[in-house]
Structure formats: C-alpha cells, structure tokens
Copies of this chain bind each other. A is one copy, B any other.
Amino acid sequence: MFVYFITMTEEKKDTEQTIKEAAKKIFLVNGLKGARMQAIADEAGINRAMLHYYFRTKDKLFEVIFSDAMTEMNQRMGAIITSDLPILKKIEHFVHGYSESAISNPEFDLFIINEFRQNPTYFDEMMKTSNAGTVIKGFASEIEKAIDKKEIVGNPNQIFLSIIALCIFPFAAKTMVRTMLGHSEKQYTKLLEERKDFLMQFIIKAITP
C-alpha cells in the first residue's frame, strides 16, 4: 500500500513533468503562436486534454515554461558575478560559464532572442528589476572601467556586444552554422566544446592593448 502511494505520486508528477518537458521542446522551437497543443501532446505521448487538465490553457502553460526559461537566463547571466577578479578573469569566467550552460540547453538562446523581439516591453521591465539586468549592467560598466584604466582597449559597448555575440551566436544559430560547415551533430558539439578555450584567446588578443 505504501509502495502504491509512492508509485502513484511519482507517476502523477511524472505526467506533469512530461508535459513540461514536451512543452518546453515545442515552445522553444515554435514560440507561443507557432506552437500547437497537439504537437505538445504528441511529444509527451498523452491525450491533449491532459494539457488543459494540468495547465488550464495554452497561455498558462506557456507562462510556466517561459518563467522557467527566465530563471535559467538569470542563472546564466549570474555566471558573471565572481566579485573581485581582474577583468580578463571575469570575462573568462563568463565565457566558460555561459558555454557550459548553453551546451546543456542549446535551444534556449534562440528562444530568448525571439521572445525579446516579440515582447520588448516585458524585457524592458525585467532588465530594471531582475538579477540578469543588474548583472548585465554591472558587466558593461566593469568593461568601461577597465578601458579607463587602459587594461583593455576599444569601445565598451562594442566589446560587450562582441563578447556576447561570440558566446551566444554559435548556439542560437546552431543549425545554420552546422549546415554551413557541413558538420554532423557530433562534429559541431565537439567544435562547441573546443570553443570555450579558443574564445578566450581570441577575445584576449582582440581587446588587450
């Protein structure tokens, strides 16, 4: 009996979790309007009515997935905070940290970029209040300070933009780049792994005086 209880609870959670994972997969690729509830149900291997039973509406389900994604974004950006390291070490910490989490969830980057465009006001608000917002602005101003101290050279905004471009683009445009290079999934994953180290050398060369 006790065993049954555990089993049942686990299976219940499993359904909800299964739906969330399926929904994440579909929403991340198709966006809110582009996604179909049936596609999510198929992905989860369950009846479509279950989606409504657990999450009421498409919008509410999306909201859950979206919040999770935001939390993840805050965590990723949090990788920058490492208090009192010199700027190059800080950049290195960010590059490695970002790459690590992007490798484990490579669909995420493009989703965020798309959502930003579709819902700019939401993110405007978020930048003012959230962890990510503070971190990003802090990072940008640290770059500025380092330039003042002649530790690195260039325009602060351009440098900031370049660093995140080099980090994010390989994941956001994964399929495109992979196709351009004629790489298999495996080859490209290897490229991304190796990139962590390549990038630091590349960036350091580019910004040190």
| Chain A residues close to B by CB (< 8 Å) | 29-31, 33-34, 36, 110, 112-114, 116-118, 120, 123-124, 127, 136-137, 140, 154-155, 157-158, 160-162, 164-166, 168-170, 172-177, 179-182, 191, 194-195, 198-199, 201-203, 205-207
Contact = CB atoms under 8 A, between A and B. Distances in A.
Question: What DSSP secondary structure best describes chain A's contact surface?
Answer: helix
Contacts of A169: 161, 164-165, 168-169, 172
B116 A179 contact: yes
A96 B118 CA distance: 28
A22 to B, nearest CB: 17
Contact of A179 (B120, B140, B162): B120
A155 B201 CA distance: 11
B29 A30 contact: no
B155 A194 contact: yes
